[in-house]
Amino acid sequence: MQLPAEAYTEGQILLIDKPLTWSSFQAVNKIKYALKRKYQFSKNFKIGHAGTLDPLATGLLIICTGKFTKKIPTIQGQTKEYTGTITLGATTPSYDLETAVDAHFPTEHITEALLLQTAQTFVGEIMQKPPVFSAIKKDGKRMYEHARAGEMVEIAARPTTIYEFEITRIAIPEIDFRVSCSKGTYIRSLAFDFGNALQSGAYLSALRRTKIGAFNVADGITPIAFEDQL
């Protein structure tokens, strides 16, 4: 259903299903320029997203327009749900598939009972170190910029809350999961720490954000589909 221009300037919450390899910035720009072409909005047209998704992740990206950009901090603070795959027995510097495997570890001792028991030790408030390949700033540069330059930078652990950590499929070395967590949780770090707790290694091999608060990716559309329906 097409909306009048005023609907977007007064404010809309758009549920976008971000495709794999797209950055959140690219997704927002696709929506922004589609709206500008359709409605001839000025360069001052307000639009932004409520929580970054890495290019290697898919799923729910909430985009706010017009006056609703003021709602972004509130939306960002809501509980998030993710599903995905953790690969056991190896690690990568980025904790995901952005970088190549740098070490291998045994998995023969890992049982279903150990997986389920270990997952429960992460439920509640935990201390978590963000990945060195993250957008957090340190000394005026993004952490990933330091990491890609080969610079070793120490980053402090910070509290986050895991509300649910459910193992949904076990096919070692792969396990599928569903996690419900607070703002600021890095699922890549959770995968890495999970591997350590299993006395093995692990990295995140797939990730999809399914919910933010009451918003569900099932109600979202891709950026290209949004453009096509205008």
User: Per-residue DSSP letters for 118-132?
Assistant: HHHTTSEEEEEPPPS
How far is the first Cα of the chain from the last one, in angstroms, to the nearest whole number?
Answer: 8
Catalytic residue ranges: 54
Separation CA 217–CA 211 (nearest Å): 6
Q: What is the pLDDT of residue 129?
A: 87
Tell me how far apart the alpha carbons of residues 107 and 172 are, in angstroms, rounded to a whole number: 8
Please report the pLDDT score of residue 142 as a whole number. Answer: 57
Angle at 94 between CA 121 and CA 213, to 5 degrees: 55
Instruction: Write down the pLDDT at residue 105.
Output: 98
Low-confidence spans in the chain with pLDDT less than 70: 1, 133-153
Helix (H, G, I), strand (E, B) or coil at 144: helix
Q: What is the pLDDT, as a whole number, of residue 205?
A: 98
| Contact in structure between 211 and 217 (CB atoms under 8 Å) | yes
pLDDT digits (tens, 9 = 90+) for 107-132: 999 999 999 999 999 999 999 988 87
3-state helix, strand, coil in the chain (%, to 5): 30, 35, 35
